[in-house]
Structure 1
Amino acid sequence: MINILLCDDHAVVRMGLKMLLNNHEDMQVVGEASEGNEGIQQAIELKPDVVVMDLSMPHGKDGMSATSELKKLKPEIQILILTMHDDEEYLFRAIQAGASGCILKSAPHDELLAAIRSVASGNAYLHPSATKRLMEEYIGSVKQGNTDTFNLLSDREKEVLTLIAKGFSNKEIAEQLVISVKTVETHKGNLMEKLQMKTRPELVAYALKKGLLGYGI
């Protein structure tokens, strides 16, 4: 059962989503919030598997800020951004804030259900047009000769990078790969040095562009 928290400033939208999601045996809406601060508090108390977070909430904390703060407090909770904005700026900001996925409000119901199931299982989800733009951007950079040091990464470093991008903590990565947390931290440090990156969100965005989460070329 996937426990879901809805965070949207429109009560009618929340009602519609709740009716849709509760109609499926593997999903259950455990709480609702009308703005970011309330969403964070509800998430801490209810411990949902997935938070469906509206990006634009004019009253209180907005979805982007709430996502960033919640991921720091509860990194194990997966966040699916719900937005009407179909452009790269919002997509990359959402990824950098720690979201596991992003879907348009205009998306069909089946796509929303698939997105929730995807992020709940630890994978990433991007709506098709966003995936297409990421691919086009990557192809463009290759054609321009903007190569990177991906081939310099060891197989183990690539494994660690993939798990980081999926939202796992250092401890969880260590358990999955049967290595120590210190070794995970070493691999992470090597990754950042080789890729010339300084933050975890940068690694996540890079992994998405390289197709390590199933959205690559």
Structure 2
Amino acid sequence: MKSIRVFLVEDHNLVRNGIRTLLERQPDIEIVEEAQSVNETLEKLRSGIDADIILSDINMKELSGLDLINMIKPEFPDIRIVMLTMLDHENYIKQAIAAGASGYLLKNIDVEQMLFAIRHVSTGGKYICAEVVFEMLKKQLHSPVESAPGKVADLSQREEEVLHLIAEGLTNQEIADKLFTSRRTVEGHRQNLLEKTGTKNTATLIRYAIRNGVIS
């Protein structure tokens, strides 16, 4: 199995070391390089470092993580960028996604959600952590109603159960424990839900479910 090659960009040594330790325990993830700034990241990529995903903070000295996206995407378009930050303001999220980020995670998420995000993004998906999703959904649900939905996806009973638990904010491991199954099985159900509903991330999946009456 090919490993997911991750490049860590974080200017706090303690935080960076902690993230590296967590990711290095995963058999399918390889830390290929680390950097403390945007310029250092560019230098190492230009020297030939090959990465699938850049996991970067936003708040750094001199240039920010948003600058990193804008500077790296034109030169290295195939590298997917995931923000891992404490900044949960909607403007930062919109700017990051608009600039080309494939994911947006808060540093207070659990390890299972971070690992799922990395694996999902590595396959070409997009991911925004549940805490951010629910805050944005609160605002969206007060916006004007969108056009009528099309055909509702044919979900199995277990997929509907998983969807309800996702909407409650449970992690993959918590869902697995509740349903007496494995985390990998839950990840499979989550991926099936995204594919069946034609949605790209947790936010659009939950919005789809609400609009189509799957959850209320």
Shift of 1:133: 3.2
**What SS does the corresponding residue of 2:144 show, helix, strand or coil?**
helix
Normalized per residue, the structure richer in helix is 1
Structure 2 partner of 1:47? 50
Matches of 1:43 and 1:101 in 2, distance apart?
Answer: 20
| Alignment root-mean-square deviation, CA | 2.3
Q: Are 1:111 and 2:113 matched, yes or no?
A: yes
Kept after mapping to 1: 8 A contact 2:58/2:64: yes
Matches of 1:40 and 1:62 in 2, distance apart?
Answer: 13
Which structure 2 segments of 5+ residues have no match?
151-197, 208-216
Normalising by structure 2, we get a TM-score of 0.65
Q: Which amino acid in the other structure matches residue 126 of structure 1?
A: I
Structure 2 partner of 1:56? 59
Of 8, 13, 30, 2:10 maps to: 8
Structure 1 partner of 2:185? none
Which structure 1 segments of 5+ residues have no match?
152-210
Matches of 2:131 and 2:14 in 1, distance apart?
Answer: 27
Structure 2 partner of 1:212? 199
Matches of 2:83 and 2:139 in 1, distance apart?
Answer: 22
Kept after mapping to 1: 8 A contact 2:32/2:50: no
Q: In the TM superposition, what are the counterparts of 1:9-158 in structure 2 within 5 Å?
A: 9-44=11-46, 45-58=48-61, 60-143=62-145
Matches of 1:47 and 1:125 in 2, distance apart?
Answer: 22
Per-residue CA deviation, residues 155-202 of structure 1 (Å, 9 max, x unaligned), is xxxxxxxxxxxxxxxxxxxxxxxxxxxxxxxxxxxxxxxxxxxxxxxx
* Structure 1 ranges of 4+ moved more than 6 A: none
**What SS does the corresponding residue of 1:18 show, helix, strand or coil?**
helix
Matches of 2:43 and 2:81 in 1, distance apart?
Answer: 14
Matches of 1:41 and 1:82 in 2, distance apart?
Answer: 21
Percent of pairs with identical residues: 31
